[in-house]
Amino acid sequence: MARIIGGIGTTHVPSIGKAIAEKKQNDPYWKPFFSGFNAVHKWLAHEQPDVAVVFSNDHGLNFFLDKLPTFAVGAANEYRNEDEGWGIPVSKTAKGDAALSWHLIEGLVNDGFDITMCQEMLVDHAVTIPLNLLWPRGDWPAIVPVTINTVQHPLPSIARCLELGRAVGRAIMSYQEDVKVLMVGTGGLSHQLDGTRAGFINKDFDTLCMDQLSGDPEVLTRYTIPTLVELAGAQGVEFLNWMAMRGALTGTVSELHRNYHIPISNTAAATLLLENRPRAQRKAA
Ligand code: DHB
Ligand code: FE
């Protein structure tokens, strides 16, 4: 039986890729950010997940504004990166787990999520930066990429993304293979890259969001997308990826670690590690 061991939320700012390429992890600007991953590395080394389901938003590498699925799931055995123009090295290819992808797709469609299924899919910085942050030695697990539209309105609601995650969690829990699965949600937290509010960051709201993920994520569904844009910034809506990650944690969830550092580039860089323990079985009467 498959097991969901936990979830990680992490930023995906592209300039992190440049810092890694130039080995700047210990520079004063970068150290408070990179050192926030030490506890995560220790946990991952202990837990050894086989597969990571990565919830992220595509920034135009697969889908542009002309055709943009609300939710898409990769079903490939490998996922290439291409030059996105950020001045960062093209990443190595990520391995896929097509069998798990198809199980997930089947579960999601049966659960009422009419997702786009992608037998070919590229991965952009929203996947490759988190993989490099979580497994800096390059020993990445296989991935199942799930993309959520956080780019072109109308976006899916916070509640819908929480439900998407829950459906992913249910599908994984019905997978018969003995695999340990990690959920990853990328992007955020608050940031706005354009317009008169460029540079906007909201520490209070970010803190509330992180608190509620382990506390009571349902509370966050009260925010509409326009309110989320107002509180988190136009690109802070990438929090939807974190919401789906949290929804997929089907057991008892507790926060093991967090790091919050302002800013990395234009973004509030947050790292959150959530553990997912199976709910205690009721004793037979
Ligand atoms: C930045 C943040 C993002 O989420 C992104 O996709 C690109 C750039 C930034 O802060 O530079
Ligand atoms: Fe982004």
- In angstroms, the CA 210 to CA 230 distance is 17
What pLDDT, on a 0 to 100 scale, did the predictor assign at position 39?
Answer: 98
The ligand 1 atom at the shortest distance from the C-alpha of residue 263 is 10
Q: Which two tokens stand for residue 180?
A: 């340990």
Atom 11 of ligand 1 has which residue's CA nearest to it? 265
Q: How far apart are the first and last CA of the chain?
A: 25
Atom 1 of ligand 1 has which residue's CA nearest to it? 13
User: Mapping DSSP to helix (H, G, I), strand (E, B) and coil, where does residue 214 land?
Assistant: helix
User: Mapping DSSP to helix (H, G, I), strand (E, B) and coil, where does residue 4 land?
Assistant: strand
Beta bridge partners of 52: 143, 182
Measured from CB, residues less than 6 Å from any atom of ligand 1 are 12-15, 59, 187, 191, 193, 235, 238, 265-267
Atom 6 of ligand 1 has which residue's CA nearest to it? 13
Q: Which residue has the tokens 């590229």?
A: 122
What pLDDT, on a 0 to 100 scale, did the predictor assign at position 96?
Answer: 98
**Cα 32 to averaged position of ligand 2 atoms, centre (Å):** 20
What pLDDT, on a 0 to 100 scale, did the predictor assign at position 284?
Answer: 53
**Cα 21 to averaged position of ligand 2 atoms, centre (Å):** 19
In 3D space, the residue among 64, 50, 58 whose CA is nearest the CA of residue 95 turns out to be 50
Mutate to test the pocket of ligand 1, among 128, 189, 235 (most ligand atoms within 8 A of CB): 235
Mutate to test the pocket of ligand 1, among 10, 11, 12, 149 (most ligand atoms within 8 A of CB): 12
User: Mapping DSSP to helix (H, G, I), strand (E, B) and coil, where does residue 26 land?
Assistant: coil
The ligand 1 atom at the shortest distance from the C-alpha of residue 59 is 6
Domain segments of the chain: what residues? 3-284
User: Mapping DSSP to helix (H, G, I), strand (E, B) and coil, where does residue 74 land?
Assistant: strand
- In angstroms, the CA 174 to CA 1 distance is 7
Q: Which two tokens stand for residue 117?
A: 């299924």
What pLDDT, on a 0 to 100 scale, did the predictor assign at position 281?
Answer: 58
Q: Which two tokens stand for residue 12?
A: 């995906």
The ligand 1 atom at the shortest distance from the C-alpha of residue 191 is 10
Count of CB atoms situated within 10 Å of the CB of 162: 20
**Ramachandran angles phi, psi of 246, nearest 5°:** -65, -40
Give me the tens of pLDDT residue by residue for the chain, a chain 285 residues long: 999 999 999 999 999 999 999 999 999 999 999 999 999 999 999 999 999 999 999 999 999 999 999 999 999 999 999 999 888 999 999 999 999 999 999 999 999 999 999 999 999 999 999 999 999 999 999 999 999 999 999 999 999 999 999 999 999 999 999 999 999 999 999 999 999 999 999 999 999 999 999 989 999 999 999 999 999 999 999 999 999 999 999 999 999 999 999 999 999 999 999 999 998 755 554
What pLDDT, on a 0 to 100 scale, did the predictor assign at position 242?
Answer: 98
Q: Just list the catalytic residues.
A: 125, 191
**Cα 188 to averaged position of ligand 1 atoms, centre (Å):** 8
Range 3-284: architecture per CATH: 3-Layer(aba) Sandwich (3.40)
- In angstroms, the CA 9 to CA 282 distance is 31
Count of CB atoms situated within 10 Å of the CB of 262: 15
Tell me which amino acid residue 198 is: A
What pLDDT, on a 0 to 100 scale, did the predictor assign at position 282?
Answer: 57
Q: H or E stretch including 145?
A: strand 142-148
CA distances from 26 to 10, 30, 31 (A): 19, 6, 5
Parallel, antiparallel, or unpaired for β 94-95 and 252-264?
A: unpaired
